[in-house]
Amino acid sequence: MDDRSSTLTQPQNQDEDDEFGLPARLVGQALEAVEARDAVQLDELLDPLHPADIADLLEQIGPGQRRSLLALWRGGMDGDILSELDESLREEVIEGLAPGELAEAVRDLETDDVVDLVEDLDPAAQEAVLGALAAADRVAVEKALTYPEYSAGRLMQSEVVRAPHHWTVGEAIDFLRSGTLLPDQFYHVVLIDPRLKPVGYVTLGRILSARQETRLRDLTEESFRTFHVEDEQGDVAQAFNKYHLISAPVVDDDDRLVGVITIDDAMNVLDEEHEEDILRLAGVGDGALSDSVRETIRGRLPWLVVNLGTAGLAAFVISRFEGTIQALVALATLMPIVASMGGNAGTQSLTVAVRALATRDLTRSNAWRVIRREAAVGLLNGVVLATVLGGLTVLFFGSWALGAVIATALVVNLIAAALAGVFVPLLMERIGVDPALASGTFVTTVTDVVGFFSFLGLATLVLM
Amino acid sequence: MDDRSSTLTQPQNQDEDDEFGLPARLVGQALEAVEARDAVQLDELLDPLHPADIADLLEQIGPGQRRSLLALWRGGMDGDILSELDESLREEVIEGLAPGELAEAVRDLETDDVVDLVEDLDPAAQEAVLGALAAADRVAVEKALTYPEYSAGRLMQSEVVRAPHHWTVGEAIDFLRSGTLLPDQFYHVVLIDPRLKPVGYVTLGRILSARQETRLRDLTEESFRTFHVEDEQGDVAQAFNKYHLISAPVVDDDDRLVGVITIDDAMNVLDEEHEEDILRLAGVGDGALSDSVRETIRGRLPWLVVNLGTAGLAAFVISRFEGTIQALVALATLMPIVASMGGNAGTQSLTVAVRALATRDLTRSNAWRVIRREAAVGLLNGVVLATVLGGLTVLFFGSWALGAVIATALVVNLIAAALAGVFVPLLMERIGVDPALASGTFVTTVTDVVGFFSFLGLATLVLM
């Protein structure tokens, strides 16, 4: 730990934008110092910053500027900054460090931070970091890496403060004061039985305020729950949020205590899951703002290609009706409206469903209720909008038949949109694909095809 | 506090779906018990559940079922369940409670939970809850309600464990053991100066492990930072996540300590902000899964009406080219492709920008870099996709000129999409409108209009 942020309390009157975080002008000032090769000035600018803000700064500048800055900066990279850095930049930065610097940087990290740091590195960089650790830490990190990616085992720290469940408050206090090496931050003492199974936990507040002879097991919190090493991080994070957990023990197959997950790590996972959901829904892969142009294209182009395919499908549907359009070119003007309204309504249903699946609010027990509701909403929204659109069509094009056709097609498409918006993500979830990832494309394919087909098909039947 | 969840550790082998949370079959069983008017069975089913799971159950069933269940259930509503309930249901449930029941329910809540509970109630229901509180709590809640909505002042709890900064560890321990009423959960002791200004904080772990005569001020954490009562909750939550805070004191205009925000509340806010972002991006207002059909329509219909307007604008653009389409009906087949690709690419840029604004990663200092990157990505993606689409067009329609037209229009539209995707949310943010709320409509309007206009316009120039 360093004392970078010991200046405390953020400045009261920062620039216009943020109340907290990296001051905008600092980025420019740091780049000027780099430009002028003024190492003293750069140190003065960066030293007071929180590691998370230094990471932000590194993410906000270009790759060339980053290299120059790191070469000039004598304050040097430390493990906390590496932990905060976006994954896409870590490898780049780690490769630029001398082995000694790297060892220095990671030595003070908790094991869960080291795991987070190394799990996505290539084998050579990973070995470099592991080699820099103390033997005990290395064992803990290597053990954690044997658990599946995105599992509780990867998220937990192996440093746990634990006590036999028969201890008294006095015994616990003696133990805590005995000079045993304790984690930087801990909020509970986990009680274990003789077979190392966690059976409850006690907050430090209760230990501090209870009488010496009270048994720890009489002070346990009702919020106690354990996770298994292979539980998914997303489930763990949702459980922390739902049940207001602060920390929770992690057990192995034999129900033995092997680590503890704390809420700050769970909050981080929740944030990342959200990021993933929102970006995937938009077809952006795992894009980050610090990605290069090439990485950004790699993330987005595949989804645009998929969309090209589905748009081609919609175009094919239209092409079947070229004769009808030729006869009544107003159809070409109106048809994108039907498709666009369906796409929007489908995205609405889809987003609610994907979000509800992510928060575990949409389950098998209420799926039918939700589907019925969506269908009803689709029908009623469809009727309202169809009335408006049909009326406007009659007004502008002077044809009652055309108005009736577009109104009917719109109702049909809004019902299709509502159903596709719920069914598609439920189906994805069932077959084990992230609903956020692929659903959007399917839903808009449905609404495009149904929209064009119902409008042009009805027009052919009624108007030709 | 009740002991509902003292059965600890979740069942090891629940149904297929969730590792945690409300078991799916329980909803059906509870409804069967309600149907059979079997109060004993209902109690047996609900009593072991966590308040959050009971709230989930209430959210997953229909309004009629909810009324019957609450009428039958003798275990009764308590404050924890009310806190967990979705806002849209709270008023309904509170109205169904007798005044005595309500008083009973809210009495044990922390002040921040009461604030969260009452802030959205109508005045009569609010007064009913406030009237049920102890005098001191009522004062604290009414004070909190004077702060702006979504401010730190609303989020904080007024119960703070604090100590003069000159105290020693021994003095602090004596104080904590003196039987003073302590909050249910606390992790830090906040140090204050004689003017009540917080100057640092000490974790309970350090107090427990340090020597009696150590001064508290020598044990403070570097992570310490304070918030102002009027800071926005979203900023507070982002700061908790960014700086790994567990709790943080809140001060008033005179820098005096008035409360404390804990990470579980911050996590909740982060979750709600995400929910808001993702739902707003999709034009779903503040929709929840438990909303009735009428509420759902109220949330979604306005955005569909807006979309009807923008789709009408796009249709108007098309109508200007009806002569061209009449002459070459293949244009009607191909034009939705150009618009759809632009819409998708625009949504990609937009989502990354909205997300980056929400996490404060997109700031004035890197806006130009991001805009340049997006433009480059739009250009390059455009060139790749235009080559494919142009080639396919030549292949299917046998016209080099038509291929060149659609390829050019696609590149133009993808650049427009990339720029609109970043500029629109930046502009929204600048004028103080939530970028997630309105940007999507503007961006797709841009891509629709630019897509149709560039394709049909070029076709008119080149092919007519």
- Average pLDDT on B46-61 reads 89
Would you give the distance in Å from CA A335 to the centre of its chain? Answer: 37
* pLDDT at residue number B406: 97
CB contacts < 8 Å between A and B, how many?
Answer: 400
- Average pLDDT on B299-312 reads 92
User: With 90 as the cut, is the pLDDT of residue B90 above it?
Assistant: no
Q: Which of B339, B341, B344 is nearest to B455 (CA)?
A: B339
Instruction: Give the percent of chain B with pLDDT over 70.
Output: 95
Rounded to whole angstroms, the Cα distance separating B107 from B42 reads 25
> Among A129-143, A277-291, B49-63, B367-381, which stretch is predicted with the lowest mean pLDDT?
A277-291
Pairing of strands A247-251, A257-262: antiparallel
* pLDDT at residue number B19: 55
Three-state secondary-structure class, residue B188: strand
Class of residue B398 by CB neighbours under 10 A (exposed 0-12, middle 13-18, buried 19+): exposed
**What is the overall mean pLDDT for chain B?**
88
Show pLDDT as tens, one digit a residue, over chain A (464 residues): 333 333 333 433 333 344 577 887 888 899 999 999 999 999 999 988 899 999 989 988 888 888 899 889 877 778 889 888 887 788 888 877 777 777 788 887 888 888 888 887 888 878 888 888 888 888 988 999 999 999 999 999 888 999 999 999 999 999 988 877 788 788 899 999 999 999 999 999 899 888 899 999 999 998 899 999 999 999 999 999 999 899 999 999 999 999 999 999 999 999 988 888 888 888 887 777 777 888 889 889 999 999 999 999 999 999 999 999 999 999 999 999 999 999 999 999 999 999 888 888 888 878 888 899 999 999 999 999 999 999 999 999 999 999 999 999 999 999 999 999 999 999 999 998 888 887 888 899 999 999 999 999 999 999 98
Closest residue of chain A to B7, computed from CA coordinates? A222
Rounded to whole angstroms, the Cα distance separating B273 from B290 reads 19
Q: Under an 8 A CB cutoff, do A307 and B340 touch?
A: yes
- Average pLDDT on B309-330 reads 95
The secondary structure of residue B77, as a DSSP letter, is -
Q: Is B7 on the interface with A (CB under 8 A)?
A: no
Q: Is B305 on the interface with A (CB under 8 A)?
A: yes
Helix, strand, coil tally for chain B in percent (to 5):
65, 5, 30
Class of residue B116 by CB neighbours under 10 A (exposed 0-12, middle 13-18, buried 19+): buried
Would you give the distance in Å from CA B20 to the centre of its chain? Answer: 22
- pLDDT band for B365, please (50, 70, 90 cuts): confident
Which residues of chain A neighbour B157 with C-beta distances below 8 Å?
none
* The pair of three-digit structure tokens given for residue B386, joined into one six-digit string: 């235009």
- pLDDT band for B12, please (50, 70, 90 cuts): very low
Contact indicator for A94, A129 with CB cutoff of 8 Å = yes
Q: Under an 8 A CB cutoff, do B296 and A224 touch?
A: no
Three-state secondary-structure class, residue B200: strand
Q: Under an 8 A CB cutoff, do A182 and B300 touch?
A: no
Contact indicator for A421, A342 with CB cutoff of 8 Å = no
Contacts of A126 (CB under 8 A, 6+ apart): A118
Q: Under an 8 A CB cutoff, do B246 and A185 touch?
A: yes
Q: pLDDT digit string (tens) for B96-126? A: 777 777 778 888 788 888 888 888 788 887 8
Contacts of A228 (CB under 8 A, 6+ apart): A152, A250, A251, A252, A253, B19
* pLDDT at residue number A380: 96
Q: Is A301 on the interface with B (CB under 8 A)?
A: yes
Q: Is A99 on the interface with B (CB under 8 A)?
A: no
Q: Is A319 on the interface with B (CB under 8 A)?
A: yes
Domains in chain A with CATH codes: 24-152 (1.25.60.10), 162-281 (3.10.580.10), 293-463 (1.10.357.20)
- pLDDT band for B79, please (50, 70, 90 cuts): confident
In the stretch 59-88 of chain B, residues with CB closer than 8 A to chain A read 59-62
User: With 70 as the cut, is the pLDDT of residue B46 above it?
Assistant: yes
Q: Is A224 on the interface with B (CB under 8 A)?
A: yes
Contacts of B426 (CB under 8 A, 6+ apart): B353, B357, B362, B367, B435
